Structure 1
Amino acid sequence: MSNLSDLVPDGGVRAERLLLRELAHRTDDELASAINLVTKAIDGCDGAEVRATLASVQDRLRSHARLHHALQMPQFTTTVDLAAYLQQLCRSISRSSLEHEGIALSLLLQPLKIDSERCWLLGMIVFELITSAARHVSDSGAGEIHLELWVTATSISCCITGNGFSDESRSREEDRSIVETLVAHLGGTVDVCVGVDGGRTVVNVPR
């Protein structure tokens, strides 16, 4: 079973964790500071239209803050429900970016209790796949992305489908590299199928 220690050289796990947590805390602080500045601007503004615009910005920032929190590395190793975590994560993704672009995200998830670090890594994979799919939604209509999670006695499978892929060359190389690296650390595989009507990516990892 792979875990977070596989992602860094021996002896560097503690330093890596401390660095990631410090960066996460600083990002939290910066987002909170930005939200507070917008709040003060709203309180000091008289125009209804400007206040509404600032309130929209404030809501967007709060959505990004919730998404950032959902993607943070777990502080302790424990057992969590993967489906519940993905529901929370996908809700944050939708509110921070997809809803503003008219992209609908639907879920079909099976409950599964797994190690918190493996859950976090799977969440990172799902985040990358959803945001990649969102960049390729069809320009001719509202986008649709679907996440499905199913489990067997030996494996966990995540399938992301979207209606916006035209050909494989549109998928950014860095997107594939991040996903492939994360999946490899979990000892899994990635299968990508793209065409004129949409794209489908299936990730399989050992249970």
Structure 2
Amino acid sequence: MQIPDFVLVDGQGSQIDRCIRLLESAGIRTAMLGSEHPYGVPLVRGLAPGTLWTSAETAVARGPLIGVVDPEDLEHETVVMASGLAHSYCFFSDDPKTVRATLVSATRRWHTDRRLAESEEKFRFLAENAGDVIWTYNLRTHRFDFVSPSVKQLRGVDRLTAQSESMDKVMVPDSYWKAKAQLDQALVEFRHTGQFVPITDLYEQYKSDGTVITVEITSTLILDPEGQPVQILGVSRDATERIAAERALKTALAERETLLKELGHRIKNTLAMTSGFLSLAKARVKDEADAELFEDAQSRVQAMATLYEHLLHSKDQSHIDVASYLRELCKSIADAYAEQGGALIQVEGIEVQSNSKLAVSIGLAVNEALTNALKYARRPGCVLRILVILEPGKTPGSLCVIVRDDGIGLPSGFDTENAGGLGFLIMRSLAQQLNGSLELVLPPGGGTEIRFEFVLF
């Protein structure tokens, strides 16, 4: 290890000549302070004990300070006190290796002290110029060791006043006991695991005028060389405006939710009235074909009414549980056709969510498929079984809705591509609107299967 320039001091001058010989024996060039010593060790001879350390340290600031002390000098209090300023002091033996080892040890300590001082200077610069309040709290004295000047903007007190305060005087009682409980628990876990997870939470503190502010504090531990916690390092940030903004946002969202529910109620009631009018009109129509048109229209209105009923009971109206919605829709349709022989309709498959607009399209498509099956696929004297399946589509992010029945199937020669019924026209139109596809499959065992696939996300 290369020895940098440093100052070797002998208070009485009695050891300097001997030190020069030992240093040169150890291969270290020497020079007196004030002379040229680019590669040597500057020496100071014969300074008064009360001034030798500070004088030597001032003269050469770029290296460690080592004192050569005669045993008799230790009887003088001034020498002992002055020695505390040195990085190392010793009595040289006649062994050059011991001399060099002493210099190496002092050099290492000097480098360590210098890095520590630089680190502390950088920390203090950041702390004193940061907008947040940076502080350290001594776990042994239960007082603040350091508080950055920005505490003036946060609490209206200067840093010296803040450092003299105890934690229980800074925080309101509830916040103080909460913080104390969190710290005690964290210290218990630290003793068991050796790990400390930084704590971030909201607390209330007093300002200088007695008003209370909400502060977000993040804290962690500072350990001593033995790994024991000695301080808390914390950062405090005023969260009053943020909390007020969050509360205002929650209030606005709650009001919006109330308005949406009220709108849903009005739409649901309007659809119910429309369905009722269609039912009355159907009862007055004598032509069976015309009555069937009213019945189909009523079924479509009921499909949308079921969605809005589902929306009113949903916690998140922007994410509709498709399977749950379809179960309600299928029950409503099955009840409507109960007098015509009934049907057993089940919904199974993956759990998936969609927005309300997409849910309306899915509901209308399933409504048309179910209505067609209930009207045309029923076997005489048998209960029609219909299965609605939700499964992943062929492309990523797509959904395939399958409506499968065990009915009589389609007539021979049925053209699925050019079917002119209103139900198929509506389903094809919905598929086109969603950039999806509509496929009609005739299973080998009979019945009909309609596959409606579209991009979900």
Which TM-score band (shorter chain)?
A: 0.5 to 0.7
Point out the more displaced range, 140-149 or 191-200. 191-200
Q: Calculate percent identity across the aligned residue pairs.
A: 17
Matches of residues 184-203 of structure 1 in structure 2 within 5 Å? 184-194=432-442, 197-203=446-452
Q: How far, CA to CA, are the matches of 2:322 and 2:452 in structure 1?
A: 15
**1:158 maps to which of 383, 397, 401:** 401
CA deviation string 1:64-93 (max 9, x = no partner):
897562155979972211111111111111
Matched, 1:205 2:454: yes
Shift of 1:102: 2.5
Structure 1 residue 108, shift from structure 2 partner: 0.9
**Whole-angstrom distance in 2 between the partners of 1:172 and 1:162:** 21
Contact 2:434/2:455 (8 A) holds in 1: yes
1:134 aligns with 2:368: no
User: For 2:336, what is the secondary structure of its paired residue?
Assistant: helix
Whole-Å Cα distance in 1 between the matches of residues 401 and 271 of structure 2? 29
Distance 1:148 1:180 in 2: 19
Q: Which runs of 5+ in 2 are unaligned?
A: 1-264, 278-298
Residue of 62, 69, 87 corresponding to 2:305: 69
1:143 matched to 2:384? The reply is yes
CA distance in 1, matches of 2:319, 2:383: 37
Conservation of the 8 A alpha-carbon contact between 2:388 and 2:401: yes
Q: Mind listing any 5+ residue stretches in structure 1 that lack a counterpart?
A: 1-20, 34-63
Q: In the TM superposition, what is the alpha-carbon distance from 1:169 to its structure 2 partner? A: 6.0
Distance 1:70 1:99 in 2: 20
Residue 182 in structure 1 maps to residue 430 in structure 2: yes
Relative to structure 1, the CA distance from residue 30 to residue 133 in structure 2 (aligned partners, 3 Å threshold; closer, same or farther) is closer
CA distance in 2, matches of 1:158, 1:186: 13
1:29 to 273, 281, 297: 273
Structure-2 separation of matches of 1:180 and 1:95 = 26
**Counterpart residue type for residue 70 of structure 1:** T
1:34-88: CA deviation from partner (whole Å, max 9, x where unpaired) = xxxxxxxxxxxxxxxxxxxxxxxxxxxxxx8975621559799722111111111
RMSD, aligned α-carbons: 3.6
Partners of 2:336 and 2:449 in 1: CA distance: 23
Equivalent position SS for 1:117: helix
Q: Which has the higher contact order (CA 8 A, sep 6+)?
A: 1
CA contact (8 A) 2:337 2:374 kept: no
CA distance 1:27–1:114, shift in 2 (3 Å)? closer
Which letter maps to 2:305? H
The secondary structure found in structure 1 opposite 2:451 is strand
1:126 to partner: Cα distance: 0.6
| Alignment-mate amino acid for residue 181 of structure 1 | S
- 1 CA distance for matches of 2:434 and 2:333? 23
Q: Is the 8 A contact 1:77 1:116 kept in 2?
A: yes
Whole-Å separation in 1 of the counterparts to 2:266 and 2:428: 26
Residue of structure 2 in register with 1:41 after alignment: none
Bigger share in helix: 1
Between the aligned partners of 1:178 and 1:186, the Cα distance in structure 2 is: 13
Residue in structure 2 matched with residue 78 of structure 1 by the alignment? 318
Alpha carbons 2:399, 2:454 under 8 Å: kept: yes
Query: For 1:117 and 1:30, how far apart are their aligned partners in 2?
Result: 20
* Displacement after TM superposition at 1:138 (Å): 3.3
After superposition, give the CA deviation of every residue in 1:142-193 in whole Å (9 maximum; x if it has no partner).
Answer: 2111110112542100111112223236976211100000111111001102
Distance across 2 between alignment mates of 1:98 and 1:187: 35
Q: 2:342·2:384 contact (CA, 8 Å) conserved in 1?
A: yes
- Contact between 1:77 and 1:117, CA under 8 Å: does it hold in 2? no
Q: Pick closer, same or farther for the CA change 1:77–1:189 going to 2, 3 Å.
A: same
Decide whether the 8 Å contact of 1:134 with 1:145 is kept in 2. no
CA contact (8 A) 2:304 2:363 kept: no
Contact preservation (8 Å) 1:121, 1:182: yes
